[in-house]
């Protein structure tokens, strides 16, 4: 298994699986269409975000989408992890940690001094993020009407 930037063909595979990644990451509360998911991803890619893919025997088995974001209040720029996804059959084997480690190293090499991400409450990946040193910075709340 290797972690690297994916080929164009692998990016297309990742984009085709992204609606499932969003659904899993939001615990099923968001189920974007393939078109909406692709639109959001291509917008991030055009702005300089990129994937790191875990590839095993020529097959993408997981990925992380990283880039730069700007704080709305301070205008400071920081690294941002937009998406982390592991194909179901490969979960629980430490792949998420490998992808996170590679992404954090890449963002550090790009000069970022902070990395942020967002996660839905109850998402199992939060345990990984906390083990890697991430702390809760903000809380988003909702009121169903």
29-76 pLDDT per residue, tens: 788 888 999 999 999 999 999 999 999 999 999 999 999 999 989 999
Q: Is residue 144 part of a domain?
A: no
Tell me, what's the pLDDT at 8? Answer: 95
Task: Compute the distance between CA of residue 104 and CA of residue 29 in angstroms, rounded to an integer.
Answer: 28
Tell me, what's the pLDDT at 77? Answer: 95
Per the structure, the complete domain to which residue 19 belongs is given by: 2-131
Q: Is residue 83 part of a domain?
A: yes
How large is the C-alpha radius of gyration of the chain? 15
Task: Compute the distance between CA of residue 144 and CA of residue 126 in angstroms, rounded to an integer.
Answer: 24
Tell me, what's the pLDDT at 33? Answer: 86
Is residue 66 within 8 Å of residue 80, measured between CB atoms?
A: yes
83-93 pLDDT per residue, tens: 999 999 999 99
- Check which CATH number belongs to the domain holding 44 and give it: 3.40.630.30
Going 5 to 95 to 10 to 27, the CA torsion angle's sign is negative
Tell me, what's the pLDDT at 130? Answer: 95
Task: Compute the distance between CA of residue 5 and CA of residue 9 in angstroms, rounded to an integer.
Answer: 11
- Sort strands 2-4 and 50-56 into parallel, antiparallel or unpaired: antiparallel
User: Mapping DSSP to helix (H, G, I), strand (E, B) and coil, where does residue 108 land?
Assistant: helix
93-143 pLDDT per residue, tens: 999 999 999 999 999 999 999 999 999 888 889 999 999 999 998 888 889
Q: Is residue 138 part of a domain?
A: no
Q: Is residue 142 part of a domain?
A: no
Q: Domain count of the chain?
A: 1
pTM summary value? 0.91
The candidate with the shortest Cα–Cα distance to 112, out of 49, 22, 51, is 49
Say which DSSP state 6 is in. Answer: P
Over the range 69-83, which residues count as b (16 or more CB within 10 Å of their CB) and which as e? beeeeeeeeebbbbb
Q: Is residue 121 part of a domain?
A: yes
């Amino acid at each position: 298994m290797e972690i690297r930037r994916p080929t164009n063909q692998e990016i297309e595979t990742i984009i085709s699986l992204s609606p499932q990644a969003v659904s899993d990451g939001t615990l099923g509360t968001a189920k974007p269409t393939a078109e909406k998911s692709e639109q959001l991803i291509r917008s991030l890619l055009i702005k300089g975000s990129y994937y790191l893919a875990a590839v095993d025997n020529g097959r993408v088995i997981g990925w992380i989408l990283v880039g730069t974001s700007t704080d709305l209040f301070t205008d400071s720029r920081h690294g941002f992890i937009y998406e982390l996804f592991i194909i179901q059959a490969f979960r629980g084997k430490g792949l998420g940690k490998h992808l996170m480690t590679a992404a954090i190293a890449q963002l550090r090499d790009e000069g970022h001094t902070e990395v942020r991400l967002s996660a839905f409450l109850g998402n199992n990946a939060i345990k990984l993020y906390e083990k890697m040193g991430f702390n809760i910075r903000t809380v988003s709340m909702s009121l169903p009407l």
